[in-house]
A and B are shown apart, each in its own frame.
Chain A
Amino acid sequence: MVVKLAVDGLSFSYDSQPVLNEVTLAIDPGEIATIIGPNGSGKSTFLRCLARILLPAQGVIYLDGRNITNLSGRSLATLLGYVPQEGTKVFPLTVYEAVLLGRRPYITWAVGQKDRRVVEEILRFLQLEPLAGKPLTNLSGGEKQRVMIARALAQEPKILLLDEPTSNLDIRHQLEVLGILESLARKKNMTVLMVLHDLNLAARSSQKLVLLHQGRIFASGSPQVVLTPENIRTVYDVEARVRQDDLGVQVLPISPANGRAKL
């Protein structure tokens, strides 16, 4: 089954401070889309609204034509997996238990055969098998991020939302995580929507970029369309050189625009 994600006129405000304004968007199944934009442009808020962690003031989010506000918590959890920015873990679980949490929407009390099979497949897919018995606190940043993704995958979602999945990772682990997402989209036809800060990583890994500016979509489309020097100057206030080669679009930031912040 493939599920289409559509957002229609989404608005959200924190204490009458508007954060998102009339955001409308559609993402095809099997597509990797990345939300980019400067700090405070509403990227994470948008993702949290999609995961129904925040309730939008206006607008509707459709999963396969169904309004998500009409879905039960459990059935939403089986459609949509959300990986937040590194969460705090007060009481560390082992890797196996942490991934098993993703089965919570399917479990009432006992852990069944299918739950174990799903967890074991995901552990193998993300090469976490040797770590299964380790507590999360003993893992490196890259390993932790893979566990977080594994947990979301254990929900067997059709759509994966990730909030800055590459932050705090070195470049090798950044590429590793993005490689995982690419193979999920390609092999399992999963829809991936994430927030990234790094424009080059975003351009490399996504078919579609969504550039947010002050709570509105400023531009969206292929990396070539979105990442122009003009767009970057307007939205980020930065002069940048944009190059095109066999690996796609590359952005080289030069200096803050308008000579501001010249110290």
Chain B
Amino acid sequence: MMRSSLAGGNAPGKAERDFYARLTSHKILTIILLSLALLAVLGIALGLGSANISWEDFWQVFKGAVSPAPASQETGSKLARTVIINLRLPRALLATLAGCSLAGAGAMMQGILRNPLADPYILGISAGASFGAALAVVLGLGKLAGFTLAQGYVVVASAFTFGLLATFIIYGLASLRALAPETLVLAGVALGYLFSAGVSLLKYLSSHEELRELTLWLMGGLAGAKWQSLFLLFPVCLAALAFLWRSSWDLNALGAGEEVAANLGVNLGRLRRNGAVGASLLASATVTFTGIIGFVGLVAPHLGRFLVGSDHRYLIPASCLLGAILLLLADTLARTVASPIEIPVGVITSLIGVPFFLSLLFRERRRWWS
């Protein structure tokens, strides 16, 4: 008995097992390669910038940070160390985390709405969250820069509340009547305008100092990255992503249609509710620290689907890695292309994202909705 099961059973069975093993090992390999690519891009992002730091100094700082020896004072110049550890590293990590979260939220929204055009930005969730965050700032409940941890959580909570509100309005519209994908996008855009108008009103009402802060933040930027914001964002995003990842099988089943999912024992109501809450939390928490960054949540899951297919067990991690790589590259470009002037990262992601979105809307239309 033991021997035969170890030997792999009969011959045709073995061939099929090999097929599935090949299928999955290809996906796992892709995810490993993406992780390595992310590390490489992180390295590049840390090495490049307006402060001129030689790669030798960079290597010294890196070695000093990695080795446990307390000889770090000697290794690398002090300036290089300060720039890399206190400025570039938190910024690069924030870009990684934000890219991950937006892509994860996008993959989830596309999955639960069964809509290839869904994304926290396009559906107005980011706009809703930004309104919530701005409201907290203008009401003096929290701050966007130089905040304490508690103040930070207040802003996140307010952003989350309004992001969730936007999600449930969109979800309500989607379930009220079977809306066509394009109609849902239009509703999202309209909702986005509504919340943007709300933000404009808040800007009009706010004091000079708040206004400056709000305007800079709304353009979408990672310049204000601090270790503090990372400590706040990291546990929230990690928990939400893990939570979403766990529902992969349910999302796969829903991909085959609502009736099929119901027959397979999926609790559709619970899946949608949890998905909406998780995706809104990811998008809102990110918006609080980075402002509105568009299209990462749309582009990354599509690239992911192209690379590893539609099984969410692999799609969600692949999308997260791609989102992180994309945002990190975009931010590095934003910092360096016109150095020392910085371009808002939202501008770069829109430059990549808008043509992609339009091509999805028109060229691929037939493939998805035939």
Contacts and interface: CB of A to CB of B under 8 A. Distances in A.
To the question of whether A and B form a pair in one complex, the answer is: yes
Given A92-B310, A97-B310, A133-B19, A82 B263 contact: yes
B266 interface: yes
A80 interface: yes
Contact of B116 (A84, A90, A111, A133): A90
Contacts of A107: 249
B368 interface: yes
Interface string A72-98: 111111001110100111111110111
B98 interface: no
B16 A123 contact: yes
A82 B20 contact: no
Nearest to B251: A91
Nearest to A157: B263
A111 B20 CA distance: 10
Interface string B298-324: 000000010001110100000000000
B262 interface: yes
B310 A48 contact: no
B13 interface: yes
B1 interface: no
Interface in A53-72: 53, 72
A206 to B, nearest CB: 22
B264 A120 contact: no
A243 interface: no
Contacts of A91: 110, 114, 116, 255, 305, 310, 368
B243 to A, nearest CB: 14
B310 A73 contact: no
Interface in B294-350: 305, 309-311, 313
Contacts of A39: none
Contacts of B249: 104, 107, 109
Interface string B8-19: 010011001101
Contact of B309 (A80, A97, A123, A129): A97
B264 A51 contact: no
A94 B314 CA distance: 14
Contact of B263 (A75, A81, A89, A119): A81
Given A72-B265, A89-B255, A93-B252, A117 B23 contact: no
B260 interface: yes
B255 A51 contact: no
A87 B257 contact: yes
Contact of A89 (B256, B264, B266): B256
B265 to A, nearest CB: 3
B193 to A, nearest CB: 26
A7 interface: no
Interface in B4-32: 9, 12-13, 16-17, 19-20, 23
Contact of A87 (B23, B116, B252, B256): B256
Contact of B13 (A102, A120, A152): A120
Of A74, A92, A104, A132, the most chain B CB neighbours within 10 A belong to A104
A51 to B, nearest CB: 5
A155 interface: yes
A102 B20 contact: no
Contacts of B263: 51, 53, 77, 80-82, 152, 155
A147 to B, nearest CB: 10
B259 A87 contact: yes
B253 interface: yes
B50 interface: no
Contacts of B257: 84, 87-89
Given A89-B256, A124-B12, A102 B265 contact: no
Given A96-B20, A105-B264, A120-B16, A51 B259 contact: yes
B363 to A, nearest CB: 15
B265 A132 contact: no
A84 B309 CA distance: 24
A101 interface: yes
Interface string B338-370: 000000000000000000000000000001110
A137 interface: yes
B17 A52 contact: no
Given A90-B116, A97-B309, A151 B260 contact: yes
B256 A151 contact: yes
B310 A101 contact: no
Given A76-B265, A89-B255, A89-B256, A96 B23 contact: yes
Contacts of A111: 20
Given A116-B20, A117-B13, A151-B260, A90 B265 contact: no
Interface string B245-283: 000011011011101101111110000000000000000
Contacts of A51: 259, 262-263
15 contacts: A48-B259, A52-B262, A75-B265, A77-B263, A88-B114, A89-B257, A90-B115, A90-B368, A91-B114, A93-B255, A96-B19, A101-B253, A109-B249, A120-B16, A133-B23
Interface of B: 9, 12-13, 16-17, 19-20, 23, 110, 114-116, 249-250, 252-253, 255-257, 259-260, 262-267, 305, 309-311, 313, 367-369
Interface of A: 48, 51-53, 72-77, 80-82, 84, 87-94, 96-98, 101-102, 104-105, 107, 109, 111, 113, 116-117, 119-120, 123-124, 129, 132-133, 137, 151-152, 155
Q: Top 6 nearest A-B pairs by Cβ distance? A: A73-B265, A87-B257, A120-B16, A77-B265, A82-B263, A91-B310
